[in-house]
Structure 1
Amino acid sequence: MSFAVIVVSEIGDKTFLIAAVMAMTNPRLVIFFAAISALGVMTVLSALFGHFLPNVLSKEYTQFAAAGLFIVFGFKMLWDGWHMDDTEGNDELEEVSAELIAKEKEGKDEADRERDDLMEAGGVTAAQKKDLATLDRLKSGAQNIANYFFSAVFIQTFVLTFLAEWGDRSQIATIALAGAEDFWWVTIGSLIGHALCSAVAVIGGRLLASKISVRTVTIVGAVIFIICGIYSFYVNYYKLNEDMTMLSISELLSRTLSPDVATREDAERQLETLARESFAQYMFLLGQELSSEASQIDIRRSAGIAMKNALSAKDEGIRSEFTARWLQMDQNQRKVIKDGLLRSLSSSHKAPGFAAAQVIAAVADIELPRQEWPDLINILVQNVTLPDDNTKEATLQAIGFICETIDPLVLQDVSNMILTAVVQGARKEEANQRVRLAALKSLWNSLEFVKKNFEHEGERNYIMQIVCEATISSDEDVQVASFECLVKIVQLYYDKMPNYMAQALYGLTIDGMQSPNERVAMQSVEFWSTVCEEEATRLADNMAGEHSSDFTPYPVHDFARPVGQKLVSVLLFLLTKKEEDDDEDEWNISMAAATCLTLLANVFSDDIVGLVLPWVQAHLQSTDWKYREAAVMAFGSILDGPKHETLAPLIEQALPFFVAMMKDSQVQVKDTTAWTLGRISEMMTPETVKPDQLHALISVVVGGLTDQPRVASNCAWCIVNLAEHMAGEDTDVATYPLSQYFDGLISTLLNCVNDKSDANLKATVYEAIATLVSTCAKDCFGTVERLAAEMLSRLNGTVAMQREVVSHDDRTTLQELQANICSVLTNIIRRMSNMIAPVADSIMVTILQILTSSQRNSTVLEDCFIVISSLTSAVDGDFVRYMNDFSPHLVRSLQNPQDHQMTAIAVGLIGDICRALNEQILPYCPEYMNCLVENLKSPILDRSVKPAILSTFGDIAIAIGSEFERFVAPVMQIVDEAVALVITVPQDRSFDQIEYANMLREGITEAYVGITQGLTTGQKAQLLAPYVEKMFVFMQSIVFDDEHSEEVAITMGGLIGDLADAFPPGSMARFYSMPWVDKLLKELRGMYYNPKGQDVGKWAKTRVKRQLAAAI
């Protein structure tokens, strides 16, 4: 820029013309060096002045001042040039020539006067003439030698040029440029520009000046000056804006750590805005902050967290949006960010390295499944071999996060590399225990995809050796991490454990249970809980499959039995590890031991009684409250395993003791006793309960409702269990064992809600009320009607409160209250059914008021929709009178896919309304169908909702019958797209993939069933003909997939029968003669533990026979 500015400003300027005229009558080389020397000195001085000016003024000011000067000078030059005469340049040339001639003449006149003075002083002799001649020659020679630097012409040109340049626009331009840009480049560019102009001047200046008018040069220069000024202003503004952004990133991150809520939320909002408007810049700036060793540690950590949160989310729809946003970035931009993340792993501080590890995992979760960032694992594995401990620790953390986040199938090709790196860091030879800890945590995360390694005994032995050695480390964190690994190993590789149990695990884990480090003890207990849970599950599965001819029983190694006595002894001792100030909600070793004892009882069954009961009897009346409490806890913990016949006499004997212990002086004892009474309540049935036992139990728990919240909460839970188990299988009875207590229980529970402020207690009490209502006999309906009026009154009261609440906490409390009341109302409506009709209008009015006044993301909306769902079943077709007012709320929820839970409830509610209104729902169907289709297409909506949407198509078809004709083609196209997702079975599917595939299959099949039934009822079954073959191909693909669920098979059985009924007998024989149809029907009839499946199989078999028989 400086070069261009000098060239356009100097051509035709005075300094240019001075050099041009002087070169006409003097040696050009002398004139060139004189001019360039003057201009060089002036340039250096100007650049220095401009360079140091920002030390006095802010650089931002000097940059914008320079840009302003360019624009001002540009317009000044444009004004001068526009009003300049075409010959004005020649006049200036003549003016300069005249000045030079005058100065030359003045010099000659002065020399003549000197000579005349000498002659007048006495004349000149011959000798003197000779000497003068010699002197003249010497002077001439000296002058010739000094011509280049000290001649009058050189000095004259230098002085004239220097003075002419002073204050000239080129000098000011140089000052401005040096203040805004790099000093050296401005100086060099200006010198080269001056040299070029001076060279042109001395070589052909006069010719150039005569050919190109100064007016033209001035106007061109003016335009260039203006362009340079505008460009400079733009660049400086952009740079300043970028600098302000960089500063604000650091400042905003700092503000996110502020204790002031408003400051923190404002900073988070600004960061979200930047991420939304300029995601690439946002990630780049955060990456710079994270990798900068000069930044504060907290800010670097915050930068890492912000980056991770911009890439990952729990909600699948949001996660998909984040993924697309990252992938839309340029590859080079992404590479710069990723390289910065990898550098951050080597931070001298641990926190930024840990944050970088999380971000790397988030990026890897996006890119590795798409075969991008292929060298990542190699880089991480190499990092583990580096000498720097911080780098190794952060890298191992990154590996762990990657293994935790990414589907194991994606990493199976690099599993050996990962395992090698992890085991390398976990060895006992690793001196740094932080590195070892990170390695063990990474091992825990990688255990799921090293299945092949566990199949090889040598590799398995080495891994187990590394983990077992870590359990005796001197570092407690390493110990805990190693036991966590053992817990997961026994869960994943149970069948590989027999040898290791006997050799090491028995001793390590039982010793670990007695460790003074509670975290180690808890993980050791968790190990045995996991063993027992696995064995209990296998025992249950084996029992369920024993009637199936193709079922292979799971091996049960009964690991706990050889050490049962020792194990129970340690667990009972751990139950006593309580303190008076223990937090009831905080998981501790005593709770862990109780849970393990429960699971052990499931495995040992009746045998657990002989191991536990003597200890209970010995300590039930101990003077030490810890042992009393532990004895009660032990009794309650073993009630799941033994047979009812074994427990019944024990409960009868123990119940009086427990009733008495509800008056214990120690609140922990009363709390655990109330919990144990709740467990005993689960064992009671109308057939086995004795009236005196029931009376004693109800009396003591009703009294306990007035005790401290933790005791009252367990008493309310006891009532929940009594209500569920006293009702029996048939709830449509005139009376039941709780009838005589029902009204009193409801009144006491309502009083408890009024008197207590504890939120958890209130929720449990309302649950008890709701459960009593849902299971009550008919002789309790009078109380239920009064309760309905009370609940409606309370709900109406919350509507007024809703308009008054301001704080977040108050709003949350109000929403919890509304949710609790709605749950009771829902059960009242379901229990009373059409008897609720007299107050249905009042209920809907109140619910609609809540829906109208609630925020879109309010949690109470879900509860309101559930109330409405129950009301649709109670009033059936009469619900149509509420549709005009309610439908907009339903549509609004369908149009909010970000809240997938609310969307799911709304989708289900459409099905309920369809079943209630049937064809009366037709006016609302087009809008509902549009919403449902949009949600299926939405990348934001959680995929778990989409199978239900497919099923709802079937509900709509059943409701409107033949009117569904208009929707058949588009719906079938959508269903075909869903079929394409599940008809091909990929190899090595994960559990989540199998589960979702079955959900999708069930949704598709239910859509087919509903459409088939609806069109058949509406005499439009022929519309199905083009789609029948696709339906059968779809079902065939499922039958031959061993991972299909029972629910899918049952729904397909229904579809088989419905299609057979939809078409004339014999017309479908070619489909029903396929071998897989008979295979499916046999599967259904063989569901010994699923009567529904057997019934559907038998029914479908009759329909198939009719089709085949007619074809013979």
Structure 2
Amino acid sequence: MSTPDLTTTLLSCQSPDPTVRTQAEAALASAEQNNLADFFVALANELSAEGKDLTVRQLAGLHFKNLLVAKDEAIQAEKHNKWKALPTEKRAVIKSTVIGAIRSPVQIARHTAAQACAEIATIELPFKEWPEFLTTLMENVTGSANDDGIKISSLECLGFTCERIALSLDAPEIAPDVTDLMLTTIVDGIQADRPDPIRFAAATALRNSLAFTRKNFENENERNMIMKTICEATQSSDAKVRGAAYECISQIAFQYYDKLQSYMQTLFELTFATIRSDEESVALNAIEFWSTLAEEEMELIDMALEFQETGQPVPPEQTCVGYVKAALGLLCPLLMETLTKQDEDADVDDDVWNLSMSGATCLTLVANTVEDDIVPAVMPFVQEHIKSENWRYREAATMAFSSILEGPGADAIGPYVNQSIPVLLAALSDQNDLVKDTTAWTIGRICDLHVRSIPEETFPTLVNGLAGKLLNETPRVSSQACFGIHNLAAAFSNDNTAETAGTNALTTYMPQLLQTLLQVVDRSDASESNLRICAFEAISVLIQNSAPDVKHVLLQLLPAIIDRLAQSFNMPVLTNEDKEQKEGVQGLLCGLIQVIATKTTKEDIMQHCDLIMTNFLQVLQSKNATCHEEALSACSSIASSLEGDFVKYMGALQPFLMNGLRNFEAYQVCTVAVGLVGDISRAIEGAMQPFCDEIMSALIEALQNSALHRSVKPPVLSCFGDIAMAIGASYEPYLQLSLMMLLQAAQTQAPDDDDDLIDYVNMLREGILEAYTGIIQGLKDGNRTELLLPYIDAIMSFLEMVQKTRKNDYDNEVLSKAVGLIGDIASSLGVHVKTQINQPYVMQLLQEGHATGDVAIIETCQWANSVVGQILAC
């Protein structure tokens, strides 16, 4: 593409005319496909051309950057590989041109060139390519003759590069000489005699570089120099520089906790002075240092407990020094002082972070770190000020109390919780909205964390107090009241007495609460402060934890919910916000129908199911809807309730089910659709057969799709077993291909040091074992187990691998399912598998199952042992 054409095309991409814009975007895509190297050259020339239209230069630089960047890891790798495949001489020309543009006299051109350069450096620096990059930037920063703007853009480029490399998961470790040169350049820019804009750019770059400078931090002299430079920057006259310096300090606390000891006294003094008296933006970053420190110490304390359980000593670099506990006496009063600096005009929906919010968050983390020790440090302040005449102190005391509820144990905090309920219930009627809001939030936290400490005699007052704040308060206060009711209802989730007694403490209040919460949903301001969603969620949890004696209330509620879902299709949609609200309401209503279905019987809901499914299908007809996941999930509950009678809906549901199974981009929807296939298979059994060709095809596509989120694949494998169990001998057409997929999945292994991958392989193996079990049982029911004989050796090899590669932290579910599969193979194939069953690893798996001490696993082992014993005795 020639330069004049490129100029015109880049400008046309900004055209308000969609036709012009589409044609221009197609032209750029064509240039990229036809000759990528020349296209990069043309964009670099456009970016670096002084005197050109500034908009064109910026667009060229941004398009250059976007040719190398993608959010998706696979696409990102593909773009990087295309760059690496360009001829070396062409790359050299492009790099020279782009890095030269950092010296442009035009600020926007310099800034855009810095972004484009950083993307190239992200690809090449980890492989020690482009040595000119750092030497050029260092010359730009340290050269006395260079304009300050050039120095700033060069430091920005370093910062962008460090940030991008830190995010690159598969990049090699940066060579020490590269990090040395980076740090030398950055530290030069942050020196006290540099202008503030240069210091700010350097401090930002330093924060981004800290992820891969451990070698430098291991060197005491270098570490001292870096820390001295950062601490000096906290004293800059410019707030942006001070704030960036504290960001560096927080990052150091995160990355290099084990190196802090020599600097803690200084950091203590600096951060405390800043929190007390500096501008809010800087004070927030100083508080963040203590939040980060608390998070690190929490993690180290947890790790120490793990080492203790295994009898291992704690490595020195992973020892918790206890800085937070040591500072508690001075830190807590300082944080509680920040709680009194509320912004009464702040809109909670704007999510604006302020000093009191930051202080409360930090206090919560401190409480979780020091646990019981937080109580004597905070409760005197709470008791002194919770009834203060000054609303700021009343709210601060209440927030302080809510902030420490999670850390200490019930013995330490429980008595205060017990005493607080009457005070908090009275405060729900406070004159100040912020006090009421925080009070409702605190009650919700108590219901969540310390419900057993609530005096039984105050339960009616508590429920009625929260219910009384649902309709006539501001959305934020009502939302917190919903939160409190939600948590109060959730406290009954493990109430085993409800089924035997037929009732629980919620029963008396259920009709009133459900009716009032539905009125909340209809409030004209329900879209504010997440109120509508909070109300729906409270209704859902109330229903889930309701006792049998309120079933009649739920059956009265069901037609009203169905009607609301039907009415939702008439909601006007004029904006994207309207569309999101409509789909959100539909999803929540589907969820309510789902939970009611789980609390009732087939006979209870049968008469409503035609209308329910008609509405679900209408929800599923909407394009690009966010509520498909909820509608499909709700269909699962109806299928489970109706069992074989659900088949009447399959013809209409099948197209939407297939859309869900093939919705690989929205993998959560795909996962729910896979689960629905399993539920329907169990419900309608053999009647599933006519629908299986399409379904199995979609499941195979899912397994073969490399871009599909890996979490979907274990349930897909398990689904093979559900289908086979349902259709028995009719599974034969799918047997060979599904077993091949299972054998391929069985090869997946996890390295010992990758916990995430270990967990994934664990789930994958559960899915494989469930699939094998279902297929064997299905073919056994259909009297076609001989079809499995050619595959038995491969299945047994998988069981052997499971036994040999099991790790101590593997879920017992894998072991349980492996033992169950052994029993199924033995009972289904008998003497045909005598040789395969008579192997040491089989006996080892059975012994390991017995050794778990888990009653259910032991019972499975005993059954499998008896079946295996019978075969071996033949």
- Which bracket does the TM-score occupy, shorter chain normalised? 0.7 to 0.9
* Cα distance in 1 for residues equivalent to 2:372 and 2:361: 17
In structure 1, the partner of 2:469 is 704
Shift of 1:635: 1.2
TM-score with structure 1 setting the length: 0.69
The alpha carbon displacement at 1:512 in A equals: 3.1
Q: Does residue 1:715 correspond to 2:481, yes or no?
A: yes
Question: Corresponding residue for 1:470?
Answer: 233
Letter in structure 2 aligned against 1:314: K
Q: Residue 175 of structure 2: which of 374, 389, 414 is its match?
A: 414
Cα pair 2:746 2:768 within 8 Å, conserved: no
Is the CA contact 2:762–2:814 (under 8 Å) kept in the aligned structure 1? Answer: no
Contact 2:819/2:860 (8 A) holds in 1: no
Preserved CA contact (<8 Å) 2:424 2:439: yes
In the alignment, what sits opposite 2:166?
404
- The alignment partner of 2:356 has SS state of helix
Q: Which residue of 2 aligns with 1:250?
A: 11
Deviation at 1:915, TM superposition (A): 3.2
> Which of residues 486, 489, 499 is equivalent to 2:252?
489
Matches within 5 A, 1:1020-1099: 1020=785, 1021-1032=788-799, 1034-1035=801-802, 1038-1039=805-806, 1046-1047=810-811, 1050-1063=813-826, 1064=830, 1067-1068=835-836, 1071-1073=839-841, 1085=852, 1095-1096=856-857, 1099=860
CA shift in 2, pair 1:726/1:902, >3 Å: closer
Aligned counterpart, 2:355: 589
Which residue does 2:736 correspond to in 1? 969
Change (3 A) 1:368 1:390: closer
Deviation at 1:568, TM superposition (A): 0.2
Cα displacement (A) at 1:881: 1.8
Cα 1:274–1:473 change in 2 (3 A) is: same
Q: TM-score, normalised by structure 2?
A: 0.87
User: In the aligned structure 2, how far is the partner of 1:1031 from the partner of 1:714?
Assistant: 52
* Structure-2 residue corresponding to 1:786: 556
Indicate conservation of the 8 Å contact 1:1012/1:1024, yes or no: no
Deviates more, 1:1070-1079 or 1:506-515: 1070-1079
Aligned to 1:904: 671
Q: Percent of aligned pairs with the same residue?
A: 30
List aligned pairs for 1:732-881, cutoff 5 A. Answer: 732=499, 734-759=502-527, 760-801=530-571, 805-834=573-602, 835-852=604-621, 854-855=622-623, 857-881=624-648
| Change beyond 3 A, Cα 1:897–1:984 | closer
CA deviation vs aligned residue, 1:874-924 (integer Å, no higher than 9, x gap): 223322221111111121233342333332332333233333333432322
Query: Which structure is higher in RCO with an 8 Å CA cutoff and minimum separation 6?
Result: 1
- Structure ID, larger Rg: 1
Distance 1:250 1:347 in 2: 21
Q: What is the CA–CA distance in structure 1 between the aligned matches of 2:233 and 2:63, rounded to whole Å? A: 35
Cα contact 1:1072–1:1108 (8 A) shared by 2? no
How much does 1:825 deviate? Answer: 1.9
Checking the alignment, whether the CA contact within 8 Å between 2:9 and 2:27 is kept in structure 1 is no
Partner of 1:533: 295
CA distance in 1 between partners of 2:870 and 2:227 (Å): 63
Give the corresponding residue for 1:444.
207
Task: Find the aligned partners of 2:594 and 2:153 in 1 and give their Cα distance.
Answer: 57
Give yes or no for the alignment of 1:559 onto 2:329: no
The answer for unaligned runs of 5 or more in structure 1 is: 1-237, 256-262
Distance of aligned partners of 1:556 and 1:1111 in 2 relative to their CA distance in 1, 3 Å threshold: farther
C-alpha distance in 2 between matches for 1:1097 and 1:379:
64
User: CA 1:478–1:962 in 2, change beyond 3 Å: closer, same or farther?
Assistant: farther
Change (3 A) 1:352 1:264: farther
After TM superposition, give the deviation of residue 592 of structure 1 in Å.
1.2
Distance 1:267 1:287, change over 3 A: farther
Question: Which residue does the alignment assign to 2:779?
Answer: 1018
Distance in 2 of aligned mates of 1:474 and 1:1098: 72
Q: Structure 1 pair 1080/411, CA: closer, same or farther in 2 (3 Å)?
A: farther
Structure 2 match to 1:599:
365
The equivalent position to 1:274 in structure 2, one of 5, 20, 27, is: 27
Aligned to 1:613: 379
Deviations 1:991-1029 (A, max 9, x none): 6xx414531452244223322442145232534313135
Contact 1:900 1:942 in 2 (8 A): yes
CA distance in 1, matches of 2:556, 2:155: 65
Distance 1:1071 1:459 in 2: 60
Give the match's secondary structure for 1:605. Answer: helix
Cα offset, 1:675, TM superposition:
1.0
Per-residue displacement from partner, 1:640-678 (whole Å, max 9, x unpaired)? 122223333322322222222222222111111111111
1:521 aligns with 2:283: yes
| 1:737 alignment partner, SS class | coil
Answer with 739-748 or 288-297: which moved more. Answer: 288-297
Matched residue of 2:266: which SS?
helix
What's the CA shift for 1:323? 6.0
Of 348, 357, 367, the match for 2:105: 348
Equivalent residue for 1:998, pick from 759, 771, 785: 759
The equivalent position to 2:137 in structure 1, one of 378, 383, 391, is 383
Shift of the 891–656 alpha-carbon distance from structure 1 to 2, 3 Å rule, reads same
Question: Which segments of 5 or more consecutive residues in structure 2 lack a partner in the other structure?
Answer: none
Q: Distance in 2 between matches of 1:575 and 1:1110?
A: 72
- The amino acid of 2:466's aligned partner reads V
The Cα of 1:633 is off from its aligned counterpart by 0.7
Residue matched to 1:154: none
- Are 2:137 and 2:154, in contact at CA under 8 Å, matched by a contact in 1? yes
Q: In the superposition, relative to structure 1, how do residues 322 and 971 fare at CA in structure 2: closer, same or farther (>3 Å)?
A: farther
- Cα offset, 1:931, TM superposition: 1.7
Equivalent position of 1:222 in the other structure: none
Q: Deviations over 1:22-58 (max 9, x none)?
A: xxxxxxxxxxxxxxxxxxxxxxxxxxxxxxxxxxxxx
Which residue of the other structure, out of 680, 685, 689, is the alignment partner of 1:922? Answer: 689
Residue 412 of structure 1 aligns to a residue whose secondary structure is coil
Distance 1:300 1:600 in 2: 49
Separation in 2, partners of 1:983, 1:974: 15
Q: Which residue pairs with 2:424 in the alignment?
A: 658
Aligned amino acid, residue 249 of structure 1: L
Distance 1:1099 1:750, change over 3 A: same
Q: Distance in 2 between matches of 1:490 and 1:1097?
A: 47
Hey, what's the Cα distance between the residues in 1 that align with 2:704 and 2:494? Answer: 45
Q: Does 1:646 pair with 2:646? A: no
Q: 1:480 aligns with which of 227, 243, 252?
A: 243
Q: 1:969 to 1:862 in 2, by over 3 A?
A: same
Q: SS where residue 738 of structure 2 aligns? A: helix
Distance across 1 between alignment mates of 2:24 and 2:352: 35
Q: 1:514 to 1:1109 in 2, by over 3 A?
A: farther
Deviations 1:111-139 (A, max 9, x none): xxxxxxxxxxxxxxxxxxxxxxxxxxxxx
Q: Is the 8 A contact 1:568 1:611 kept in 2?
A: yes
1:258-305 Cα offsets, whole Å, 9 max, x none, are: xxxxx2866764554334444247666544443333344454334444
Please report the RMSD computed on the Cα atoms of aligned residues, expressed in angstroms: 3.5
Q: Structure 2 vs 1, CA of residues 547 and 392 (structure 1 numbering), >3 Å: closer, same or farther?
A: closer
Q: How many pairs were matched up?
A: 838
1:576 aligns with 340
Compute the displacement of 1:629 (Å).
Answer: 0.9
Letter in 2 for 1:722: L
CA contact (8 A) 2:159 2:206 kept: no
8 Å Cα contact 1:1066-1:1109 kept in structure 2: no
Q: Shift of the alpha carbon at 1:588?
A: 1.4
